[in-house]
Structure 1
Amino acid sequence: MARPQQQNLFADDELPENLAAWEVAAQNDRLLAEVVFNRPLTTVYHYVVPDALRELIGPGKRIEAPFGRGNKLTTGFCVGLSTEVPAGRALKSLTAVLDREPLADAKLLELTRWIADRYLCGWGQVLESVIPAGVKSRAGTRDLTFFELAADFERRLGKTRLPAKQQAVVAALQSAGRPLRADELSEAAECGISPIHTLRDKGLVVSRRDRMLVASAELPPPEPHREIVLNSDQHRAVRDILSVLQSGQHKTLLLHGVTGSGKTEVYIRAIEEIVGYGRQAIVLVPEISLTPQTIRRFRSRFSSVAVLHSHLTDSERHAHWQEIVSGNVQVVVGARSAIFAPTPHLGLIVIDEEHETSFKQDTTPRYHAREVARRRAAQERIPLLLGSATPTLESWLRVLRKEDSLISMPKRVERLPLPPVIVVDTRNDPQVRQGTAIGRALFTAMNSALKEKGQVILFLNVRGFAPVLWCRACGEGVRCPHCDISLTWHKQRGVALCHSCDFEVSPPPTHCPKCGHGGLTHLGLGTERLEHEVRQRFPEATCLRMDSDTMKQRGSHQTALDAFRAGEVQILLGTQMIAKGLDFPNVTLVGVIDADTQLHQPDLRAAERTFQLIAQVAGRTGRSARGGRVFVQSASPEQPAIQFASRHDYLGFASAELEHRKVLQVPPFSHLVRVIFRGPVELDVEADAQLTADKIRAAVKEQSLAVRVLGPAPCLVTRLKTLFRYHLQMTSVSLEALRAAWLAIAAEVPTRKDVEIVVDVDPMNLR
């Protein structure tokens, strides 16, 4: 049977001239979500928001949507909403909105987009990284039942008389004036749960379930506050900072103060000023300096302090995050990632020890917290304060170019002198030549310090007993089978360990894996061997070792420092975790066991890092009227970095090193992008690296970009964690030129399934 012809409800002259206009209008009525995913993609995708999700969707919330050809349900971030339908695209629809409240506000969305552009990674990758896992999972929360009186309570109750306990429940709810949890209501009404449930069954009380944060953000107690009188340098520094704060303008200030000059007190005085305006501060410190001592000091001066660092549990981090969002926190103290703290009233950002390499993230997104802080401060129109005794050459060059302002604090508090530094040439030291870690001069100085009831710090930036197991027969070291790295002997654990992939051999090999010859030799010094020697040569002194092998338990770092501060330990030795930020007035001697550890690394920053380490560890002594001395053992005592450090001459070192870098046109006089290729088959890795380098060179030539391309070549550590690694480098004075060169070929980069590509902008590590 033929279907009847549908009657047209409009006369021909009533129809619009262009039916397509109606279709466009219908499309424009659709709400579209702009979405990014945790992928190395620059694309912002558009999805239709179903009617059921319109009231829930919003920028900064996570969504679930079909992604890719297989339409796999994938979590992404909504970064915007629109009604304009992209031309020529069939749009998919969202399937869920995962968050009640946005995880990122408009400012954080803007900042993360800038990071994605600046560091050549995906916007979704940045958002996934900067919002803590505990916040995304709402760690420390649980479902709680809340009770309140029904809206029509009076009508339902009528003339009914309630039993005493039910009357008590009603009275408690009326008195509270808000919904109460079951435990709160039971306590207020002094009854069990049964009367509450009975009232609910009668319709007089209604209940609802809500997910609430129950974790607490516990912090160490504040240390006793003592009034500190500022010296003239500190007064001038505070005055200069406050003048910028009061101007309401963005400016970056470099506070260059010698070790012990009282920089932290300057930070606190500046923060007290902005807290007085009802605003908040973020203080970034290196992870190893983020001790309970630091937190106690801030808590003694501010009533509400939040902490963000890697040792927090997910629920603790979530609790701190929510406190910060509420606006009730005055100061956020944390490591690198605290720069993303969701402060609604930010007034100042401080980065202490700004020279620390830990402010650069070594996984995607590979941002530098200093540059992100600079951007966020400009976005908020607030000051950024950088502090260090040994600023990075990047920061110092900005001061010389008048891009940032310098605040100088050249003297220690109470006018205490900087300690004399004695450089010991270990090539002429008979004890060191015989294999001991502590040379004759340092041994004598340690004896004197201990006899005078002083304390000693020994610094060696190598852990383990011996960093090399060496075969006398074939001259080869015992290497990790997964990495091009020598195994380190850890005598106490009885293992030969790879410090890159944690591969271990237990017990350690006794014969060379290559030639089979027996009797392997232990070469080099580590902190474990140093500890063994100290205990043998100073049996009357209590010794404590601090490195990542001994400080694994939570709180062990602070327990060790408390014991040293209390005088229970006479000799403290360890790696860089003891080299900075510690203030112990009774330390009268510091020994640097091997100042050449970093100096001869194939790294353009080797001299800078050597100078910084010596200067920072030297600053641990001479912090009281007792004074102090520093002994630096080196087989290269004539090296400029060591000589400048021995004279506490940062200005001389910076001038000489900048001149050297300028001739070579390397950072900070240029920007660098390092592209790393890694995979299980070396030939595939090399081929992809070569093809990419060829494409970049062609793009540079075609666009006439002032970019120099180096490589590809094997990385210094060619095999790491079973993967072969090649890299190429692009260098230019212009960061925009480097971005243009990469983006021109990014879509054409080889996508071999088992070869991973990593892009690192302004890398700190070139190994």
Structure 2
Amino acid sequence: MAQQQNLFDTTPPAWELDDAETKLVARVVLSTGPTGEFDYLVPENFADERRPEMLVEAGRRVQVPLGRGNRPVVAYCTQVGLEPVAGRRLKLLAAVLDTSPLLTPRMLELGRWIAEYYLTPLGQVLEGILPAGVRGKAGTRETTLFSVPTRVSANFTRLDLPEKQAKALMVLAASSKPLAMKQWMARAECTAAPINALRKKELVESRVERIDTDPLLEEEVERRAPHELNTEQAAALHTIADALESREQQTLLLHGVTGSGKTEVYIQAIEKVVSYGRQAIVLVPEISLTPQTVGRFRERFDNVAVLHSHQSDVERHRQWKRIAAGGVQVVVGARSAIFAPTPHLGLVVIDEEHETSFKQDTAPRYHARQVAIQRTKMDRVPLILGSATPSLETWHAAKAGEYRLVTLENRVSDLPLPTVRAVDLRDMDHRHNRGAISRPLYQAMGVALNDGGQVILMLNRRGYSTHVQCPSCGFALKCPQCDVSMVYHRAANQVTCHWCDYTELPPTYCPECKDANIRYGGLGTQKLEAEVRARFPKARVLRMDTDSMRRPGSHEQALDSFRAGEVDILLGTQMIAKGLDFPNVTLVGVINADTALHWPDFRASERTFHLVTQVAGRTGRGDRGGRVLVQTLSPDHPAIVAAMQHNYRMFADNELPDREMLGYPPFGRMARVVVRGKNEEVAQAVASGFAEQMQATESGGSVIGPAPCAIAKLREYYRFHLLIKAGSIEQLHATLAPLAGKLKLPDDVQWIADIDPIDMM
């Protein structure tokens, strides 16, 4: 091992060692606190291979003394080996916290890559890889386990014990593994008295361990046979099978229109993987992780594990252990499931790969797609990226030959794509169209409902009114902690900031000029629901957004009701736009396609195209066909036009030249540095200092800014950001190098660096 930084001070315990000595040294990273790797001596009792549950090895957590006060802290052991320790004063490692490694050597290697790529301390990365329920051993409890020492079992004939004690001792000796008190009492058919007597006579030994509580039973699912593939699907599967048999890493883009049967191709590819005795990981957006999605896999595979953020720590820990044991065929989960501890990985699939939810918004700020590419390279297995609307980064890589492009041009059973029509809100007579639903959309809804069809309405704005404003003086009600408008929620009779959750009672008059005619303007899903119920009083209406879906299981219950035909009109935010397959939906209405079109974000057009295309794909999935009406003030915008024509290539061909001209991804690499502070001038000064340091690197990267963020104040902090653009990841890292060291910052000033940023707000 190369010598690393040590945690050293002059207070005991520290030992000066002879020049010739080598000792067993553990290298660790701290889960919090100082960064870097630190060396500790391994005491002999933690190096005894006869006691594997106490052994120090890479991947286990340990407890080490830190600083002058020897404060005990948790650390991750990353390496153990004999090392010359001449002249070094090293502290002794204090305890081993795990009875087996929580991280395999391969996952430690992946963690190091994430730390280097995303400029995040390794200890923080490892904390992010392991779910809290796994670290805390959720669902286990401390239990005393009893066994018979060898010295006792070899001398049974010499022991003179009462009958009950003798029977209890014989039962314990006959057990193949240590027994807990209740187990021992049940098998020996005795009370605790004879057992306690044996303990006093020191004829048994005990140790305290954490053991599993009773696991939950899996819900039984009816098995289904594979669907017959059409010609396009069969060709796609053949291409994937070639990649599987190559036993090399390949990234494949499965580009298929909505309803083209991508999921069936994934499943049949995974069936091949399972037949080889290997495992697959399938990532889906959290919003799409419904029983419908998971059910498709459970209908086809015997052992499916699910990992997502809404699970309890107990369930998450249980699923993690099942996966690590090798008994799981398929892991289905959201972003963090890319870290599932599959011992025999054979394939990774990322469905709806364009989804922004695959990017983590807290440290480590990884993108699951980028991590999946690296993990599949390490394991030499294929990666499938699937989408009807791939991210432009993925599409460009496929067109450039870096990824293998596989296309599904048609829907299954040759069902036609729905017709899409724009409703130009500029042409509306607002004297007769005061609500959210235009006359053409109202009429189309009436026809669909009269024919027994179902309707989906999408509006990507929560609440009732999106802003509160005084018509007399122009005052706009903003959050006192954030530079954003407060949203009025009529059901709760409160105004809320959707960024920090600050709430207060709505004003009855203008706080500035005292005018009583304060107006509640803008349109949210709650106001849309009220209008739909008023205009279609006989229709059964259901709203789905984060406000109405707070109870556990409410999301699944809502979709089950809609699938069963108990709901006629489903309205909501983007959570209803993706991954849902309801053949009886004959009409989709996009209430306002422009909500994200003009954001200060170079991906605004791409997001709009994705959303409109995806929600349009929710209809026309049955024999009855379907249609889509898109209400917009920008019917001629290239993203809207391409979405209405279901033409991804048209959108990409129009958007990519602009990206190339400006050096934006995929034609360059980007990072975003955000500085925030309670004092606006101080925060701006720190951001300016960062810009000067990075500009002085002469690394080839360009630094733009600093400038106030689109949301200039958030949770009482003023925010400034810088954009760094470079031709390669190496240039990007070199430009950011001045920020990698220890920086002395004023109090209350914080900063983050986001590699490959998705959120520009």
Pair 223,213 (structure 1): closer, same or farther in 2 beyond 3 Å: same
Could you give the per-residue CA deviations for residues 34-87 of structure 1, whole angstroms, max 9, x where no partner exists? 222245876222233344444432212222334356654332212113444689
Q: For residues 618-677 of structure 1, give each alpha carbon's deviation from its aligned partner in whole angstroms, at most 9, with x where no partner exists.
A: 111111101111111001111110100000000111111111211121111111111111
Query: For 2:686 and 2:70, how far apart are their aligned partners in 1?
Result: 29
Distance 2:93 2:186 in 1: 44
| 1:706 aligned to which of 700, 704, 722 | 700
Hey, what does 2:724 align to over in structure 1? 730
Tell me the distance in 2 between the aligned counterparts of 1:269 and 1:417: 24
> C-alpha separation between the residues in 2 aligned to 1:240 and 1:589?
35
Letter in 2 for 1:719: K
Q: Give the corresponding residue for 2:36.
A: 43
Q: Is the 8 A contact 2:19 2:87 kept in 1?
A: no
Amino acid at match of 2:638: P
Per-residue deviation, residues 567-592 of structure 1 (Å, max 9, x unmatched): 11111111111100011111111111
Deviation at 1:765, TM superposition (A): 0.8
- The change in CA–CA distance for 1:256 and 1:430 in structure 2 (over 3 A counts) is same
How many Å separate the matches in 2 of 1:268 and 1:622? 23
Deviation at 1:475, TM superposition (A): 1.8
Cα offset, 1:31, TM superposition: 2.6
Tell me which amino acid in the other structure corresponds to 1:419.
P
Please say if 1:306 is aligned against 2:301: no
Shift of 1:751: 2.2
Query: Does the Cα contact within 8 Å between 2:147 and 2:204 map onto a contact in 1?
Result: yes
1:336 aligns with 2:335: yes
Distance 1:659 1:150, change over 3 A: same
Which piece of structure 1 moves more, 183-192 or 465-474?
183-192
Please point out which of 747, 752, 759 is paired with 2:753: 759
Judge conservation of contact 1:583–1:623 (CA < 8 Å) in 2: yes
Question: For the Cα contact (< 8 Å) 1:585–1:623, is it kept in 2?
Answer: yes
Q: Does 1:256 align with 2:294?
A: no
| Cα offset, 1:158, TM superposition | 5.0
Aligned to 1:594: 592
Once the two structures are superposed, the pairs formed by residues 206-225 of structure 1 within 5 Å of their partners are: 207-214=206-213, 216=215, 218-225=217-224
Match of 2:407 in 1: 408
After TM superposition, give the deviation of residue 485 of structure 1 in Å.
Answer: 0.4
Partner of 2:4: none
SS in 1 for 2:741: helix
Report % sequence identity.
Answer: 50
- 26, 47, 53: which one pairs with 1:33? 26
Task: Say whether 1:156 aligns with 2:149.
Answer: no
Distance change >3 Å, CA 731–CA 90, structure 1 → 2: farther
Deviations 1:207-238 (A, max 9, x none): 54431121525554425525411111111111
Given that 2:433 and 2:439 are in contact with CA atoms closer than 8 Å, whether structure 1 keeps it comes out as: no
Q: 2:669 aligns with which of 668, 671, 691?
A: 671
Aligned to 1:12: none
Contact 2:458 2:590 in 1 (8 A): yes
1:90-109 matches, cutoff 5 A: 90-109=89-108
Residue matched to 2:625: 627
Q: Write the letter of the residue equivalent to 1:555.
A: G
Residue 482 of structure 1: how far off its partner (Å): 0.2
Contact kept in structure 2, 1:692 and 1:750, CA below 8 Å: no
Specify the code of the residue in structure 2 equivalent to 1:736. E
2:735 & 2:639 partners in 1: Cα distance? 36
SS at match of 2:696: helix
Which one is further off, 522-531 or 56-65? 56-65
The aligned amino acid for 1:337 is S
SS of the counterpart of 1:435? coil
CA distance in structure 2 between the aligned counterparts of 1:176 and 1:99, rounded to whole angstroms: 25
- Whether the 8 Å contact between 1:426 and 1:432 is mirrored in structure 2 is no
Instruction: List per-residue Cα deviations over 1:97-139 (Å, max 9, x = no partner).
Output: 3222222111111101101111111111101111111111111
Q: Aligned pair count?
A: 739
Give the CA deviation at 1:738: 1.1
Change (3 A) 1:72 1:711: farther
Which residue in 2 is equivalent to 1:10? Answer: none
Residue number in structure 2 paired with 1:545: 543
Deviation at 1:184, TM superposition (A): 3.8
Output aligned runs, 1:161-176, within 5 Å.
163=163
Point out the more displaced range, 142-151 or 606-615: 142-151
In the alignment, the residues of structure 2 paired with residue 214 and residue 571 of structure 1 have an alpha-carbon distance, to the nearest angstrom, of 44
Letter in 2 for 1:451: N
Q: Which residue of 1 aligns with 2:18?
A: 23
| Alignment match, 2:564 | 566
The offset of 1:294, in angstroms, is 1.7
Q: CA deviation at 1:94?
A: 2.8
Distance 1:306 1:489, change over 3 A: same
- Whichever residue aligns with residue 20 of structure 2, its letter is A
Secondary structure of the corresponding residue to residue 699 of structure 1: coil
Q: Which residue of 2 aligns with 1:582?
A: 580
Query: Which residue matches 1:720?
Result: 714
SS at match of 1:759: strand
1:159-198 matches, cutoff 5 A:
163=163, 177-188=176-187, 192-194=191-193, 196-197=195-196
Q: 1:427 to 1:406 in 2, by over 3 A?
A: same
Q: Which runs of 5+ in 1 are unaligned?
A: 1-20
1:36–1:43 Cα contact (<8 Å) kept: yes
The aligned residue for residue 494 of structure 1 is 493
In structure 2, the residue matched to 1:743 is: 737
Please give the secondary structure, in 2, of the residue aligned with 1:365: coil
Aligned counterparts, 1:103-502, within 5 A: 103-148=102-147, 151=150, 152-153=152-153, 155-157=155-157, 163=163, 177-188=176-187, 192-194=191-193, 196-197=195-196, 207-214=206-213, 216=215, 218-430=217-429, 434-502=433-501
Q: Any stretches of 5+ residues in structure 2 without a counterpart?
A: 1-15, 49-54
Whether 2:72 is the aligned partner of 1:73: answer yes
1:35 maps to a residue whose letter is: V
Q: Tell me the equivalent position of 1:505.
A: 504
Between the aligned partners of 2:216 and 2:340, the Cα distance in structure 1 is 15
- Which is further off, 56-65 or 404-413? 56-65
| Displacement of 1:160 | 6.3
Q: Output the amino acid matched with 1:600.
A: H
AA aligned opposite 1:645: A
State the AA in 1 paired with 2:368: A
The Cα shift of 1:91 comes to 3.8
Q: Structure 1 pair 709/70, CA: closer, same or farther in 2 (3 Å)?
A: farther
Label 1:22 to 1:610 Cα distance change in 2 as closer, same or farther (>3 A). Answer: closer
Q: What is the alpha-carbon distance in structure 1 between the residues aligned to residue 121 and residue 149 of structure 2?
A: 49
Q: Deviations over 1:485-515 (max 9, x none)?
A: 0000000111000000000012x11223333
User: RMSD of the TM alignment (CA)?
Assistant: 2.4
Amino acid at match of 1:423: A
1:590-633 CA-to-partner distances (Å, cap 9, x unmatched) read: 11100001111111001101010011001111111011111110
- Please state how far the C-alpha of 1:297 moved relative to its aligned partner: 1.7
1:336 and 1:432, CA in 2 relative to 1: closer, same or farther beyond 3 A?
Answer: farther
